[in-house]
Amino acid sequence: MRKATWIKEIFEGNVALGDIFLRGWVRSVRKKKAFSFMVINDGSSQQNLQIVLDADIENYEALSSCHTGACVAIRGKLVESQGKNQSYEVVAVGGSVLGSSQQDYPLQKKATSLEFLRENAHLRARTNLFGAVFRIRNNLAFATHRFFQEKGFYYINTPIITGIDAEGAGEMFNVSTLSPDKVKKTDDGSFDYKNDYFGKSTSLTVSGQLEAETFAMGMGKVYTFGPTFRSENSNTARHLAEFWMIEPEVAFADLDDVADLGADYIKYLIQSALEGCRDELDFLQKRPEVDDDLVERLMSVSNSEFTKITYTAAVDILIDCGKKFEFPVEWGKELQTEHERYLSEEKFNGPVIVTDYPKDCKAFYMKQNDDGKTVRAMDILLPGVGEIIGGSQREENLDKLKQRMNDMGMDQDSLWWYLDLRKHGTAPHAGFGLGFERAIMYITGMKNIRDVIAFPRTPKSADF
Chain residues binding ligand ATP by CB under 6 A are 169-170, 230, 239-240, 243, 245, 387-390, 433-435, 437-438
Residues 75 and 66: their CA atoms lie apart, in Å, by 16
Residue 70 partner contact from Mn ion, ligand ATP, none using kind-dependent CB cut-offs of 5 to 8 Å: none
DSSP secondary structure of 46-59: S--EEEEEETTSTT
Provide, rounded to whole angstroms, the least separation between the CB of residue 99 and ligand ATP. 35
Binding partner at 418 among ligand ATP, Mn ion, none, C-beta below 5 to 8 Å by kind: none
In terms of C-beta density within 10 A (0-12 exposed, 13-18 middle, 19 or more buried), how is residue 305 classed? exposed
CA distances from 126 to 40, 96, 109, 133, 318 (A): 11, 20, 12, 12, 45
Q: Which does 10 bind (CB under 5 to 8 A by kind): Mn ion, ligand ATP, none?
A: none
From the CA atom positions of the chain, what is the Rg in Å? 27
Q: Which CB sits closer to ligand ATP, 40 or 385?
A: 385
> What residues pair up with 21 in beta bridges, in sequence order?
75
Alpha carbon distance 239, 435 (integer Å): 10
With CB under 5 to 8 Å by kind, the binding choice for 388 among Mn ion, ligand ATP, none is ligand ATP
Triad 439, 440, 443: Cα angle to 5°: 85
Contact indicator for 80, 73 with CB cutoff of 8 Å: no
Beta carbon of residue 99, minimum distance to Mn ion (angstroms, whole number): 46
Complex with ligand ATP: residue 17 or 462, whichever CB lies closer: 462
Rank residues 78 and 266 by Cβ distance to ligand ATP and give the closer one: 266
Query: Among Mn ion, ligand ATP, none, what does residue 240 contact (CB within 5–8 Å per kind)?
Result: ligand ATP
Cα dihedral sign, 94-99-105-107: negative
Q: How far is the CB of 64 from Mn ion (least distance, A)?
A: 56
Residue 445: name its binding partner from Mn ion, ligand ATP, none (Cβ under 5 to 8 Å by kind): none
The distance of closest approach from Cβ of residue 364 to ligand ATP in the complex, given in angstroms and rounded to an integer, is 13
* CB atoms inside a 10 Å sphere around CB 380: 24
Task: Kindly state the smallest distance separating residue 203's Cβ from ligand ATP, in Å.
Answer: 15
Report the residue number, 117 or 354, with the smaller CB distance to ligand ATP. Answer: 354
DSSP reduced 3-state for 143: helix
Q: Which is nearer to Mn ion, 25 or 436 (CB)?
A: 436
Position with the least CB separation from Mn ion = 390
By a kind-dependent CB cut-off of 5 to 8 A, residue 247 interacts, out of ligand ATP, Mn ion, none, with none
Q: Which is nearer to ligand ATP, 396 or 437 (CB)?
A: 437
Q: CA-CA distance, 418 to 207, in Å (whole number)?
A: 14
In the complex, the smallest distance separating the C-beta of residue 390 from Mn ion, rounded to whole angstroms, is 3
Beta bridge partners of 435: 245
DSSP state of 449: G
In whole angstroms, how close is the CB of 242 to Mn ion at the nearest point?
A: 18
d(CA 49, CA 15): 14
Type of residue numbered 97: V
**Could you tell me where the beta strands, DSSP code E, fall in 268-420?**
307-310, 352-358, 374-382, 386-393
| Closest distance to ligand ATP from the beta carbon of 225 (Å) | 12
Q: What's the distance, CA 142 to chain centroid?
A: 12
Q: Which is nearer to ligand ATP, 277 or 434 (CB)?
A: 434
Closest approach, Cβ 449 to ligand ATP, in A, equals 6
Q: Which residues pair with 204 in a beta bridge?
A: 161
5-18 burial: b if 16+ Cβ within 10 Å, else e: bbbbebbeeebeee
Cβ proximity to ligand ATP, 108 vs 461, nearer residue: 461
221 binds, among Mn ion, ligand ATP, none (CB under 5 to 8 A by kind): none
For residue 198, the one-letter residue type is F
Select 52 or 241, whichever has its Cβ closest to ligand ATP.
Answer: 241
Residues 379-418 within binding reach of Mn ion (CB under 5 A)? 390
Smallest distance, ligand ATP to C-beta of residue 248, A: 12
Cβ contacts of 291 within 8 Å, gap of 6 or more: 285, 297, 384, 445
Any contact of residue 445 with Mn ion (CB under 5 A)? Answer: no
Confirm or reject binding of residue 435 to Mn ion (CB under 5 A): no
* Contact partner, 395, from Mn ion, ligand ATP, none, Cβ < 5-8 Å per class: none
Length of the chain as a residue count: 464
C-beta closer to Mn ion: residue 279 or 338:
338
Give residues in contact with Mn ion (CB under 5 A).
Answer: 390
